[in-house]
């Protein structure tokens, strides 16, 4: 008598579970697709995209994004510079036109359908918008190095007529020849290729709010970013003559050469001297130095008596006026000069002391001889 209620309880539980499972199944088929339904703007994210049997295509647009890149600010840089580049991307895409396709729905009034068709044409105007842009700067030459940090940058959306700002860092080699260059900027993005209007039959799929479906294409292209390197003098030390000596002041001649394209006007050569070396005149005027021309500066350098015998590396630079009439400085150049020990020479005082000693010795010897002679004479007289 106790088992009957238990069986009934089990049957009720099974019915409840079955009913709940059926409800979940119905919700998953109808409600879930509707979560991704298009409200006119985000239909590309639908869980269920209607095929062409549930859509019509009233218009075809002709146009796509047209991206261009350039440097924001001065595009001219110097050799040896680490530069922060501000790259501007502009979308100059235009729509060349629209084509009305031969499509008519039988169930819709002509005037209403034409309104629907015009609405689709309005959506087609987004064909020139670039979406999800990935841009990676590349040097394109051995003279530029693009830092890897944040080298790939993203722009979510760029409408036609709008710009986006990107930031990169490059290192420019100090031996880069002057002139014009192009950095490479490969970009990848998507754009809307076509819009189709959903028909009334789309409700059979459970997509009650869907108005359009959109087709996208992926595009890869390489933009070119023009920059230039300043034409300016560059110097190197081609010859050093002269030696330093402990405790003496010696002339050292340093020859500088302008290895670049422009004249260095009113050039001044300067050396930076530190103890145990010193100089009263560290700056020497060289005048104008043309491309490929050499000029020699003469420096009078004093080495202390305690200076260690070795090669000394002296820092040197050239100050000049560039083509823009602005004061510029060369890179630091090393001047290697050997230092020799003092030659061992007799001083005047030493010679005088030696002469005095020699004279004293001569006097002693002379006195000794005279004494010996007197003794010999005295002994001769006694023998007689």
More confident residue, 23 or 291: 291
Cis peptide, bond prior to residue 276, ω within 30 of zero: yes
The Cα–Cα gap between 107 and 89 comes to: 47
The 8-class DSSP code of residue 246 comes to: B
Distance of alpha carbon 78 from alpha carbon 173, whole angstroms = 9
Residues 303, 305, 310, 314: what is their CA dihedral angle, to the nearest 10 degrees? -20
Pairing mode of beta strands 244-245, 333-340:
parallel
Mean pLDDT on 98-119: 88
The token pair at 5 is: 């209620």
List the structure tokens of 24: 């979940």
Question: Is the Cα torsion angle 307, 311, 315, 321 positive or negative in sign?
Answer: positive
Confidence of residue 361 (pLDDT cuts 50, 70, 90): confident
Q: Give 76's pLDDT tier (boundaries 50, 70, 90).
A: very high
Over residues 80-93, the mean pLDDT reads 94
Measured distance CA(158)–CA(170) in Å, rounded: 25
Reported pTM: 0.61
pLDDT tens string 137-187: 999 899 999 998 888 999 999 999 999 999 999 999 988 888 999 999 999
Q: Are 342 and 303 in contact (CB under 8 A)?
A: no
Q: How far apart are CA 337 and CA 314, in angstroms?
A: 8
Going 290 to 292 to 293 to 299, the CA torsion angle's sign is positive
- Does the structure show a pLDDT above 70 at 71? yes
Tokens 């359908």 correspond to 113
Task: Give residue-wise pLDDT tens across range 30-69.
Answer: 333 333 334 444 444 444 567 677 888 999 999 999 999 9
Nearest to 63 by CA among 217, 162, 193: 193
Nearest to 339 by CA among 247, 259, 233: 247
Domain boundaries, the chain: 43-229, 235-340
For domain 43-229, give its CATH number from 3.40.50.970, 3.40.50.1820, 3.40.50.10680, 2.60.40.10.
2.60.40.10
Residue pair 156/131 in contact (Cβ under 8 Å)? The answer is: yes
Record: fold of 235-340: Immunoglobulin-like (2.60.40)
Q: What pLDDT sits at residue 381? A: 55
Give whole-number Cα distances, 162 to 86, 130, 167, 186, 187, in Å.
Answer: 16, 11, 17, 19, 17
Assess whether the region 43-229 and the region 235-340 belong to the same CATH fold.
Answer: yes
Q: If pLDDT is split at 50, 70 and 90, which confidence band does 286 have?
A: very high
């Amino acid at each position: 008598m106790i088992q009957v209620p238990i069986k009934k309880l089990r049957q009720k539980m099974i019915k409840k579970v079955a009913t709940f499972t059926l409800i979940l199944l119905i919700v998953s088929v109808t409600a879930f697709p509707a979560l991704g339904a298009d409200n006119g703007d985000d239909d590309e994210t639908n869980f269920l995209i209607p095929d062409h049997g549930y859509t019509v295509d009233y218009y075809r647009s002709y146009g796509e994004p047209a991206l261009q890149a350039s440097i924001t600010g001065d595009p001219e840089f110097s050799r040896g510079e680490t530069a922060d580049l501000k790259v501007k991307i502009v979308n100059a895409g235009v729509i060349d036109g629209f084509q009305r396709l031969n499509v008519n729905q039988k169930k819709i009034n002509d005037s209403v359908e034409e309104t629907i068709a015009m609405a689709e044409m309005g959506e087609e105007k987004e064909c020139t918008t670039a979406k999800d842009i990935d841009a990676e700067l590349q040097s394109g030459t051995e003279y530029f190095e693009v830092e890897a940090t944040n080298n790939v940058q993203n722009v979510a959306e760029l409408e036609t007529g709008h710009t986006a700002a990107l930031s990169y860092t490059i290192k420019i080699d100090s031996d880069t020849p002057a002139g014009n260059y192009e950095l490479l900027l490969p970009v990848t993005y998507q754009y809307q290729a076509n819009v189709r209007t959903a028909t009334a039959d789309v409700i059979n799929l459970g997509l009650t709010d869907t108005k359009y479906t959109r087709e996208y294409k992926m595009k890869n292209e390489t933009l070119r970013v023009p920059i230039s390197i300043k034409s300016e003098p560059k110097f190197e030390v081609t010859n050093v003559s002269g030696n330093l000596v402990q405790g003496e002041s010696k002339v050292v001649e340093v020859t500088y050469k302008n290895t670049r394209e422009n004249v260095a006007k009113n050039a001044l050569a300067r050396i930076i001297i530190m103890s145990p070396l010193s100089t009263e005149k560290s700056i020497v005027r060289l005048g104008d130095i043309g491309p490929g021309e050499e000029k020699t500066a003469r420096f009078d350098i004093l080495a202390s008596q305690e200076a260690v015998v070795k090669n000394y590396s002296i820092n040197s630079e050239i100050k000049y006026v560039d083509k823009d009439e602005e004061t510029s400085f060369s890179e630091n150049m090393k001047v290697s000069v050997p230092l020799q020990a003092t030659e061992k020479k007799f001083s005047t005082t030493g010679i005088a002391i030696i002469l005095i000693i020699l004279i004293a010795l001569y006097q002693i010897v002379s006195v000794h001889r005279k004494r010996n002679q007197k003794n010999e004479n005295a002994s001769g007289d006694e023998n007689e």
